[in-house]
Amino acid sequence: MTEFIKKKEVKKNWYKIDATNLIVGRLASEITKILRGTKKTSFTPNMDDGDFVIVTNARKIKFTGKKFSKKIYYKHTGFPGGIKETTPDKILQKDPSRIIKLAVKRMLPRGPLGRKQLGNLKVYNDDKHPHETQKAVDFDFKSRNKKNSLN
């Protein structure tokens, strides 16, 4: 018989990721795994048992190839002919944290659970963040990525 974890038994940890020179898609997929809690043994798909993630230096992220100027983000205002488009270059000038939030949002499940899990993501453009009291554990993304590569 499968045992499900209860809401009060969930223990949430805090992780801190430095996004300097990291590729957006690879970073977003790792963040999504942490937010959903898929790496935990207590993973339940219909529950928020993931952890909190703090991302710093969002201003210094990278894209592969020519995506920085060629990739297009679309949004619609809801009115006829109201489709708007922008590039990562323009978004980076206005609000660099939005690129990471968009990438992670599109990898999370749609609906109330995905929105709740996205609320556990804190993205900051610089090194400073107001979550020092949570004592976040540094998530070593670079060494983790080297272990999983085929080369």
Indicate the domain borders of the chain. 12-140
The class level of CATH for 12-140 reads alpha beta
Query: pLDDT tens, 10-24?
Result: 889 999 999 999 999
d(CA 124, CA 35): 17
Find the helix or strand (DSSP H, E) in which 144 lies.
helix 141-148
Query: pLDDT tens, 69-101?
Result: 899 999 999 999 999 999 999 999 999 999 999
124 in Cβ contact with 54 (< 8 Å)? yes
Supply the pTM of this predicted model.
0.87
